[in-house]
A and B are shown apart, each in its own frame.
Chain A
Amino acid sequence: MTKTKIKIDYNKCQKPEDCRKCLQICSPGVYNLVFTDKDYHNPKDWKIIPVFKQLCTRCMVCVSDCPEKAISVKN
């Protein structure tokens, strides 16, 4: 299995709940919108994490379509 490194710059990705573009555009569904803090009832504070890195096909659609240019994918 080839290793894929997906990084999201959280300084640039400020409002994941409003945008959610990478969730909808990724055909294998690598990204998930998940909470990390204790206050979990408010989705505004949640983060987008690349959970299923193994499924990434490296089509680079998320890199080019992210409006904030926050995602980087490396082999």
Chain B
Amino acid sequence: MCQMCLKHGAAGKWYLNAKNYMNEIYEDANSYEYLENLWGNLERSYVRKVYGLMNMSGLSKHANTPLIGKVLKWYANRGFLFDGTKKKINYAATQGHFGQVITINEAKTIVTEIAPIIAKAQCPCKYFTRGIKEATCLGFTPLVEVLNKLPRFVPKNGVEILNPDKAIAFLDEMSKKGRVNTIWCAPVPAIAALCSCDAPSCGALRLREFNINACWKGDYIADLDKDKCIQCGNCSNRCQFKALEYREGLGPEINLHLCFGCGKCTEVCEQHAIKLIDRNQIPETRGKY
């Protein structure tokens, strides 16, 4: 069981704990003010994470130098798990903005059974990394309220409250495109958003390449049954993390160290040859999120 589930999970997964979606938690953790500041400044905090302590251009080249790089990475990584109900949080350093990859079935459970109010918001990452305006984030209670103060994240047709059926249809549509579902705290443990990310354009998944772990890997890992595989090639273009390598004549091969457990490859497998198993079952990946 991961650190977050131990603290905020109530004997289960932290993102399936209904307590983390309650109004009292949002007020305790000061989510409304936090989100307004964080989303308003997201571009700048993101670039700061890359550049280092302050916006000193050129500091990023030290990310791989022995001692300085270690200190920079420690500083960048340390704040993500800060508890908003107990500590004062520095939003400019994106402290408390923690996320994790989840599967589509978990996302659907959250949308139908747990989350109280859902609305679409424009993805900030896709805009500042690729210049694409697309509404792919599902925001919960605090984000829906804060959206009115942040006009640049309001989608084209305005803020629209989604009912569970519409939200599920939206998740299915995103899943067809191969988007990875991630759940986000603002701040820990209050949960504010469920995103459908694209690996190179998502800010947090991009920072994983530099060992800055704002977004943890999922609780699962993909497991391939070679006897069932008929080498149809459906899964060959589904992996965004370069973990699944497909070779003609040999079939797919999964790299355990790179797998995020998002389950995109399992959704297209008609033979059910790829299955998701618990990450902690395998000694090699135990506790490595």
Contacts and interface: CB of A to CB of B under 8 A. Distances in A.
B121 to A, nearest CB: 15
Contact of A40 (B44, B46, B127, B131): B44
Nearest to B132: A24
Contacts of A46: 43
Contacts of A20: 131
Given A23-B131, A29-B129, A41 B152 contact: yes
B152 A43 contact: yes
Nearest to A22: B131
B200 interface: yes
Interface in A1-54: 1, 3, 20, 23-24, 28-29, 32-35, 40-41, 43, 46, 49, 51-54
A33 B60 CA distance: 18
Interface residues of B, number: 25
A52 B60 CA distance: 8
B69 interface: no
A33 B128 contact: yes
Which of B60, B64, B129 is packed against the most chain A CB atoms within 10 Å?
Answer: B129
B41 interface: yes
Given A1-B64, A52-B50, A54-B60, A33 B127 contact: yes
B244 to A, nearest CB: 20
B206 A29 contact: yes
B40 A40 contact: yes
B4 interface: no
Interface residues of A, number: 21
B201 A51 contact: no
B230 interface: no
Nearest to B51: A51
B257 interface: no
Contacts of A54: 60-61, 63
B201 A29 contact: yes
Contacts of A53: 60-61
A24 B129 CA distance: 8
Contacts of B60: 51, 53-54
Interface string B32-57: 00000000110110110011000000
A33 B43 contact: yes
Given A1-B64, A51-B47, 4 more contacts: A23-B130, A43-B127, A51-B60, A55-B209
16 contacts: A20-B131, A23-B131, A24-B131, A24-B132, A33-B43, A33-B129, A34-B44, A34-B46, A35-B43, A40-B40, A41-B40, A41-B151, A51-B51, A52-B50, A54-B63, A55-B209
Interface of B: 40-41, 43-44, 46-47, 50-51, 60-61, 63-64, 127-132, 150-152, 200-201, 206, 209
